[in-house]
Chains A and B, each alone.
Chain A
Amino acid sequence: MASLRDLHDSLGDLGRSGVRWSLGFSVSWWHVVYLGALVLVLALSPSTYSRANRAALARHIVLGSAPILPWFAMLSALVSVVLIRIVIVTAVSYGLSQYALEMVIRVLVLELIPLTAALFVALRSTVPSGAELTAMHARGAFARADADPLRFELLPRVVAGIVAVLLLAAVSCALALVLTYAALYGFSIAGLQGFTRTLGQIFNPAVALILVLKTLFFSIAVALIPVAAFLRGPQAAQTRAAGVRNSPELESLVRLFAAILVIEVVSLMSNYY
């Protein structure tokens, strides 16, 4: 009898946990959307840009982008050089060197660099930033009467995340273009016209729009999703001691990867179908 009751209890726990999980899943995505709306409203209201708030915004933008920018630029340049070399050598060996430039740009600038920039910013900047926010919330840092956590902590972190992704992607794309040109034509401006023309052919309005939208959605996802864990309240931080399974960083990271995957798939489908 006792074992039957145990089984019944465990099944009940399983069912409750399933319901709880799906409920939590929906609530967490709702938090993301809600936070996005909040940030949008705050970003559009002039009172946000008071002197004190501007300082907080500047601090988060600088701390979120400047330290990782050189590293990321260097790493992406290194990987770009290797990939460019591989693609060009392969294309030449098949006698298709006229397609090498198009392939390099499609692979690097359109697909790889925005994705890696988003992941890099998420891992180095926004996920720790979200965790820090949750920890501050758990410590009761926002419980003071004069605290305005949305305006002083949340908005700057989200904006910093968005700026970081856009900046990293833009710098690395520009770097990759320069490296591609150098790998194809050497350090001479003789090939600039052909290069420009090929770029113009690749970046037709649809492709350019998809690239811009994709990068923008990457940056929004990377900036919002880790910070949205903050809205779950202090208990989220308190339960983190219960185990890794409940760690808010891990949860937000998983959610972030899912969002990035969806954005990438949608962009690929719109580009190539």
Chain B
Amino acid sequence: MDDTPTPVAPPPTPAHLEFKASMLLLALLLLVAGAGLYLSYARGAFERTQQLVLIADDSEGVSVGMDMTFAGFPIGRVRGIELAPDGNARILVDVPVKDAHWLRESSVFAIQRGVVGNTNIRAYSGILTDPPLPEGAVRTVLRGDATAEIPRLMAEARQLLQNLSTISASDSALSTSLANMQGFTDKLKGPGGALGALVGNDADAQKLITTLDRTNTLLARLDGLASRADTQLFGGDGLVRDARTTVTQLNAVLLDARTSLTRVDDVLKEAKAVGENARVATTDLGALRADVESSLRQVDGLINELNRKWPFKRDTELKLP
């Protein structure tokens, strides 16, 4: 047995080998170079850009490479995020020069975070006739955060639910009121009706009804009484007729009285004249009295003189023991 290995025939060589190999290598080279160029273009390596700096107090959710949109169209790309010395985040955005005309001096920038965690940087230009945004402009960014509202909303909702559960608890005021209301309506439906519900129990309601009945009876009797009184007052022999007669008589009496008074008036006039005379007499009496007093003083002086001159002069001075 021959031990030496038999030479194996090489596989058939394809035609135009070197050309095919060159084509394969060229294709590989083209693919790699094309991919590199395309990705560079996709990352904006071939467009002139101007820089915009957005200042935010929180850059959470913002990542390098994300878009800044204007009316839904991407017009810029985040190139870097850095922390400024004052603690704010500086978001560096590259805006292609061909899109920069959408940004004006009065443009507003906002970071909006959705509920599922996606974050967007949006630009709003209200007045497109304003001067364009200069290169390297620094703007403060607003935050419109859908999730930031959630904790506050949750706290308020929890408070509301607590209040609701307090209101609807079995021993709450509302529940007690409703139970009372139910009792009230039950009484309304009961034999006493609304009256029973108002006074509280059936016995009192019965009393009230009895009182009403008796009041009715009393009113009937009062009616009879009133008709009788009417007869007595305004009847043919009624009190009113008598009173009218009495009044006529009284008029006559009054006439007489007036006459008498006229007479009395005259008498009084006489008396007034008498009074005047008496006053004159009284004046004369005053003069008389003055004269009498003068005479008496003179008599008194005379007596005192006599007493001084009289030998039996008495010591009139009183001495205390």
Q: Residues of A at under 8 Å CB distance from B? A: 54-55, 57-59, 61-63, 65-66, 96, 136, 138-141, 163, 166-167, 170-171, 173-174, 196-197, 199-201, 203-204, 208
Cβ 8 A contact of A62, one of B8, B17, B32, B74: B17
B27 touches A204 (CB 8 A): no
A197 touches B42 (CB 8 A): yes
CA A61 – CA B35 in complex, angstroms? Answer: 22
Question: B65 contacts the other chain (Cβ, under 8 Å)?
Answer: yes
B43's nearest neighbour on chain A, judged by CB, is A200
CA A199 – CA B77 in complex, angstroms? Answer: 13
CA A166 – CA B8 in complex, angstroms? Answer: 30
Q: Which residues of A contact B4 (CB under 8 A)?
A: 140
Q: Which residues of A contact B41 (CB under 8 A)?
A: 196, 200
Q: Which residues of A contact B43 (CB under 8 A)?
A: 200, 203-204
Cβ 8 A contact of A200, one of B21, B24, B44: B44
Q: Which residues of B contact A54 (CB under 8 A)?
A: 18
Question: B11 contacts the other chain (Cβ, under 8 Å)?
Answer: yes
CA A139 – CA B44 in complex, angstroms? Answer: 58
Given A63-B11, A140-B5, A163-B24, A208 contacting B42 (CB threshold 8 A): no
CA A253 – CA B41 in complex, angstroms? Answer: 40
Query: Hey, what's the 0/1 contact readout for B287-318 against A, CB within 8 Å counting as 1?
Result: 00000000000000000000000000000000
B31 touches A174 (CB 8 A): yes
Given A58-B17, A59-B17, A62-B14, A203 contacting B39 (CB threshold 8 A): yes
B5 touches A139 (CB 8 A): yes
A197 touches B39 (CB 8 A): no
Q: Residues of B at under 8 Å CB distance from A? A: 4-5, 7-8, 11, 13-14, 17-18, 20-22, 24-25, 27-28, 31-32, 35, 38-39, 41-44, 64-67, 74, 116
Cβ 8 A contact of B39, one of A57, A58, A208: A208
User: Which 6 residue pairs are nearest across A and B when measured between Cβ atoms?
Assistant: A200-B42, A58-B21, A139-B5, A170-B31, A200-B43, A61-B21
Cβ 8 A contact of B74, one of A96, A140, A197, A199: A197
CA A163 – CA B21 in complex, angstroms? Answer: 10
B17 touches A200 (CB 8 A): no
Q: Which residues of B contact A59 (CB under 8 A)?
A: 13-14, 17, 21
Q: Which residues of B contact A196 (CB under 8 A)?
A: 38, 41-42
Given A140-B5, A167-B28, A197-B67, A62 contacting B42 (CB threshold 8 A): no
Q: List 9 A-B contacts (CB under 8 A).
A: A62-B21, A136-B8, A171-B31, A196-B42, A197-B67, A199-B39, A199-B42, A203-B43, A204-B65
Cβ 8 A contact of B27, one of A58, A136, A167, A200: A167
B17 touches A170 (CB 8 A): no
Given A62-B20, A201-B66, A170 contacting B42 (CB threshold 8 A): no
CA A139 – CA B24 in complex, angstroms? Answer: 32
B39 touches A200 (CB 8 A): yes
A155 to chain B, nearest CB (A): 14
Residue from B22, B28, B66 with most neighbouring chain A CB atoms (10 Å): B28
Q: Which residues of B contact A96 (CB under 8 A)?
A: 116
Q: Which residues of B contact A167 (CB under 8 A)?
A: 24, 27-28, 31
B34's nearest neighbour on chain A, judged by CB, is A174
B65 touches A58 (CB 8 A): no
Q: Which residues of B contact A62 (CB under 8 A)?
A: 14, 17, 20-21, 24
Q: Which residues of B contact A58 (CB under 8 A)?
A: 17-18, 20-22
B35 touches A170 (CB 8 A): yes
CA A171 – CA B28 in complex, angstroms? Answer: 8
CA A86 – CA B28 in complex, angstroms? Answer: 30
B13 touches A174 (CB 8 A): no
Q: Which residues of B contact A174 (CB under 8 A)?
A: 31, 35
CA A55 – CA B21 in complex, angstroms? Answer: 9
B140 to chain A, nearest CB (A): 26
Q: Which residues of A contact B24 (CB under 8 A)?
A: 61-62, 65-66, 163, 167
A116 to chain B, nearest CB (A): 17
B28 touches A201 (CB 8 A): no
B1 to chain A, nearest CB (A): 16
A158 to chain B, nearest CB (A): 15
Q: Which residues of A contact B31 (CB under 8 A)?
A: 167, 170-171, 174
B154 to chain A, nearest CB (A): 23
CA A138 – CA B24 in complex, angstroms? Answer: 32
CA A138 – CA B3 in complex, angstroms? Answer: 12
CA A197 – CA B31 in complex, angstroms? Answer: 19
B64's nearest neighbour on chain A, judged by CB, is A204
Residue from B8, B21, B44, B116 with most neighbouring chain A CB atoms (10 Å): B21
CA A260 – CA B298 in complex, angstroms? Answer: 172
Contacts A55-B17, A138-B5, A197-B42 given; 5 further ones with Cβ under 8 A? Answer: A55-B18, A141-B7, A171-B27, A174-B31, A200-B42
